[in-house]
Amino acid sequence: MSKKSLVIVESPTKAKTIKGFLAGSFKIISSMGHIIDLPKNKLGVDIERGFIPTYKVIKGREKIAQKIKKEAKDASKVFLATDPDREGEAIAWHIKNLVDVKDSKKEFLRVVFHEITKSAIKEAFSHPSSLDLRKVEAQQARRILDRIVGYFLSPFLWRKVCRGLSAGRVQSVALKFIVDREKEIQEFIPQKYYLLEAIFEREGLRFKARLVKEKNKKITLEDKEKAEEIKDLILGKEFLVSKVKKTVSLRKPQPPFITSSLQQEGFRQFKYSSSKTMLIAQRLYEGIEVKEEGLTGLITYMRTDSFHVSPLAKKQAKTFIEENYSKDYLAEKEYQFKSKGIIQAAHEAIRPTNIERVPEKIEESLSKEEFSLYSLIWKRFLACFMKEAQIENTQINLNFEDYTFLATGNRILFDGFLKIYPEKVKEEPLPDLKEGELLKCVEVKLQEKETQPPPRFNDASLVRTLEEKGIGRPSTYASIIYTLARRNYVRRQKGSFIPTDLGIKVTELLNEFFPNILDEKFTAKMEEALDYVEKGEILWVKVLEGFYPQFKENIESAEKKVKKTVELAGRICDKCGKEMVIRYSKKGKFISCSDYPRCKNAYPLTTGVKCPQCKEGELVERRNRRGQLFYGCSRFPKCRYTTSKLP
DNA sequence: CAGTGAGCGAGCTTCCGCTTGACTT
């Protein structure tokens, strides 16, 4: 009786695909990610004895664990085909430990592939290797460090601020970005300046030039009187065309989508939140009922940080361009796209599984949102193999006395990839002028402007920043945002994140006592150390030994120095006569009697603005079911006045 | 776009990173 071979992968979709590629008797099971982890209800790390972890089957994963055990019993070979990254290696190792019952005959083989194509998988299975224990150890160090940081800092916050709060290597830094930005915005002092534009006409074409120089020196107009003076001076005067400069620039298409860029473009183009984009992408990946094709996976895996594309897909894209857009649109050679952050390259880039599946052809089978996102992915991918766009930039200098005005124009000479990918290029035509010509200024526009503070973070810019700094992973970007909102650290206003009082308080506290963890470089340094572990240059425990003593000291000193956060409310309790204080709850600040729990008197924190309707109560910050902020009268339900903006 | 909604602290909460579930109204 021939014994079967067992193959373990992470995702069920992958299992399905691989099945078609493997001949013979292979049983394929998907683990659905990690099945073993540290226990949830306690630290699970014996720090004193050298950071020894306690591993457990994750709650809710017992069935899968049992299934794997059972199937492995009857198998002589177990192929560990989890993802080719640190986490995948750890999953494989956990599974091996789970089924390894002193059965010396059972063979555990590690197979690694970076794309799910027939050739790649055949190749991987014909050259299996063994587990890379250094990778596993690097993952273990990462996991334990995150556990220690999270499970020490969170309880610290419970004791000092409010129960139920959380902190961690990733979320606390993300929150700090948002809090720091808010401070910058508050401290920003807008500067008034004036924009002076001269308008010219030539052969029916009107164009504008803005004042840039005075006596050949850069100038910004801050003085209104001077601006008016120049305005009056130049109107109707003859200007000299002193310089005409034309350059042609080539614009390259952007790399194919990875998780972070997909989330950014999803937000930019359709205003989808990170989680919404991921939800739609997941549906496209798992498969859609397509007419005449049945259940079809339309895109490759959507949680990835790699620009890698399988050779076959490349070839098909190139052929598609030649056949549908002519050879002129095909890039002469392949672009090399460089990754920005710390990458693990376990998967391909996000692309359509078959470029022949043109969005419009399958539109009927898709919802509106699925169609939008699929079209975007399809176009972005195809654009990667198309020629650069050629754009002619024109700069014209026009002089009158001491003043130099600059007109800029753009013209698309060849659209290239812009033919399909929606990237904005403003085309502004300028007339054909020659140096030495004279032109009359027919109109002058003077605009008062203000310098703008930096913008608040939104889904797109936060994910971009996290990725650039190597903080968080493709599978977690969306959940980081969700956590910050769920803890009431930030709220969303028209897509932008604003920190709450609670979020600011927590960040200030952590930043004072744990500056290294709140430092955006902390993760980068950790990753560097993990690299050394993977190369075998240091032991995994050293990473933790290098971190923990200082951390422990910080915790102890913070514990002593920080009292439970209370501020005086500046008012006396009308029930017991003691001082009232401002406390934090998960919902935000409120006024409480300092003698709690003996006196339970409490009031909402008012804004100090009288209710315009009843003139007795004051307005109070409230939130509706969706968590959006509004103001209501403190005498509710007697007075039902509400408003979304403070009068 | 209009309209939104309480009683907060204590009840044992929390990390990051993999991956998809489905106790029915």
Residues A165 and A91 in one domain: no
Closest CA to A92 of A41, A47, A29, A49: A29
Distances A517 to A167, A180, A286 between C-alpha atoms, Å? 10, 15, 38
The one catalytic residue in A151, A194, A285, A301 is: A301
Closest CA to A586 of A150, A163, A175: A163
Q: Which 3-state string (H, E, C) describes A484-516? A: HHHCCCEEEECCEEEECHHHHHHHHHHHHHCHH
Distance CA A163 to C1' B7 in A: 19
Residues A114 and A23 in one domain: yes
Does the pTM of the predicted model rise above 0.75?
yes
Q: Last residue of some domain: A529, A561, A593? A: A561
Residues A9 and A107 in one domain: yes
The answer to whether strand B lies under 7 Å from the CB of residue A163 is: yes
The answer to whether strand B lies under 7 Å from the CB of residue A601 is: yes
Kindly state whether residue A430 falls inside one of the protein's structural domains.
Answer: yes
Render pLDDT for A51-101 as a digit per residue (tens, 0 to 9): 999 999 999 999 999 999 999 988 989 999 999 899 999 999 999 999 876
Pair of tokens at residue A236: 């109707």
By the 8 A CB rule, do A523 and A173 touch?
yes
Query: In chain B, which nucleotides are within 7 Å of a protein Cβ?
Result: 3-21
A418-424: long-range pairs with CB below 8 Å, 24+: A418/A251, A418/A389, A419/A325, A419/A329, A419/A386, A420/A379, A420/A382, A420/A383, A420/A386, A421/A253, A421/A254, A421/A379, A421/A380, A421/A382, A421/A383, A422/A269, A422/A379, A423/A251, A423/A254
Kindly state whether residue A207 falls inside one of the protein's structural domains.
Answer: no
Residues A423 and A336 in one domain: no
Q: What's A337's DSSP letter?
A: P
The answer to whether strand B lies under 7 Å from the CB of residue A632 is: yes
Kindly state whether residue A56 falls inside one of the protein's structural domains.
Answer: yes
- For chain A residues 8-37, those near strand B by a CB cutoff of 7 A are 10-14, 32-34, 37
**Of residues A155 and A583, which shows the higher confidence score?**
A155
Kindly state whether residue A498 falls inside one of the protein's structural domains.
Answer: yes
Give the whole-angstrom CA distance, residue A301 versus residue A284. 9
State the nucleotide closest to A642 in CA–C1' terms. B4
Q: How confident is the model at residue A623 (pLDDT cuts 50, 70, 90)?
A: low
Distance CA A597 to C1' B4 in A: 32
- For chain A residues 79-118, those near strand B by a CB cutoff of 7 A are 83, 85-87
Q: Last residue of some domain: A561, A588, A616? A: A561
Closest CA to A241 of A440, A89, A31, A83: A440
Q: What's A150's domain CATH number?
A: 1.10.460.10
Render pLDDT for A269-313 as a digit per residue (tens, 0 to 9): 999 999 899 999 989 988 888 888 877 889 999 999 999 999 999
The answer to whether strand B lies under 7 Å from the CB of residue A635 is: yes
By the 8 A CB rule, do A413 and A248 touch?
yes
Residues A13 and A127 in one domain: yes
Residues A376 and A290 in one domain: yes
Residues A312 and A403 in one domain: no
Residues A269 and A338 in one domain: yes
Domain count, chain A: 5
Q: How confident is the model at residue A28 (pLDDT cuts 50, 70, 90)?
A: very high
> Can you give the pLDDT at residue A580?
77
Structural domain that includes position A61? 5-131
Render pLDDT for A453-511 as a digit per residue (tens, 0 to 9): 999 999 999 999 999 999 999 999 999 999 999 898 998 888 899 998 899 999 999 99
- A631 classed as catalytic: no
Kindly state whether residue A276 falls inside one of the protein's structural domains.
Answer: yes
Pair of tokens at residue A525: 């340094």
State the nucleotide closest to A143 in CA–C1' terms. B16
Render pLDDT for A192-251 as a digit per residue (tens, 0 to 9): 999 999 999 988 889 999 999 999 999 989 999 999 999 999 999 999 999 999 999 999
> Can you give the pLDDT at residue A599?
76
Distance CA A385 to C1' B20 in A: 34
Kindly state whether residue A205 falls inside one of the protein's structural domains.
Answer: no
Give the whole-angstrom CA distance, residue A87 versus residue A344. 10
The answer to whether strand B lies under 7 Å from the CB of residue A151 is: yes
Instruction: Judge whether residue A586 has pLDDT over 70.
Output: no
Residue spans of beta strands (DSSP E) within A327-434: 389-400, 403-414
Distance CA A372 to C1' B2 in A: 29
Mean pLDDT, chain A, whole residue set: 90
Distance CA A622 to C1' B6 in A: 9
The answer to whether strand B lies under 7 Å from the CB of residue A39 is: no
> Can you give the pLDDT at residue A397?
96
Q: How confident is the model at residue A1 (pLDDT cuts 50, 70, 90)?
A: very low
Residues A292 and A307 in one domain: yes
Kindly state whether residue A225 falls inside one of the protein's structural domains.
Answer: no
Give the whole-angstrom CA distance, residue A217 versus residue A229. 18
Instruction: Judge whether residue A625 has pLDDT over 70.
Output: no
Instruction: Judge whether residue A331 has pLDDT over 90.
Output: yes
The answer to whether strand B lies under 7 Å from the CB of residue A578 is: no
Residue spans of beta strands (DSSP E) within A500-560: none
**What is the amino acid identity at position A164?**
G
Q: Last residue of some domain: A544, A561, A578? A: A561
- For chain A residues 416-455, those near strand B by a CB cutoff of 7 A are none
**Of residues A569 and A328, which shows the higher confidence score?**
A328
**Of residues A118 and A414, which shows the higher confidence score?**
A414
> Can you give the pLDDT at residue A341?
67
Residues A14 and A127 in one domain: yes
Task: Count CA atoms closer than 13 A to A48's CA, side-chain side.
Answer: 0
Distance CA A203 to C1' B23 in A: 76
Kindly state whether residue A467 falls inside one of the protein's structural domains.
Answer: yes
State the nucleotide closest to A174 in CA–C1' terms. B16
Distance CA A19 to C1' B18 in A: 22
Residues A593 and A638 in one domain: yes
Q: What's A305's domain CATH number?
A: 1.10.290.10
> Can you give the pLDDT at residue A203?
83
**Of residues A229 and A103, which shows the higher confidence score?**
A229
Residues A117 and A21 in one domain: yes
Q: Which of A38-47, A334-343, A364-373 has the lowest mean pLDDT?
A: A334-343
The answer to whether strand B lies under 7 Å from the CB of residue A494 is: no
Render pLDDT for A426-456 as a digit per residue (tens, 0 to 9): 878 899 999 999 999 999 999 999 999 999 9
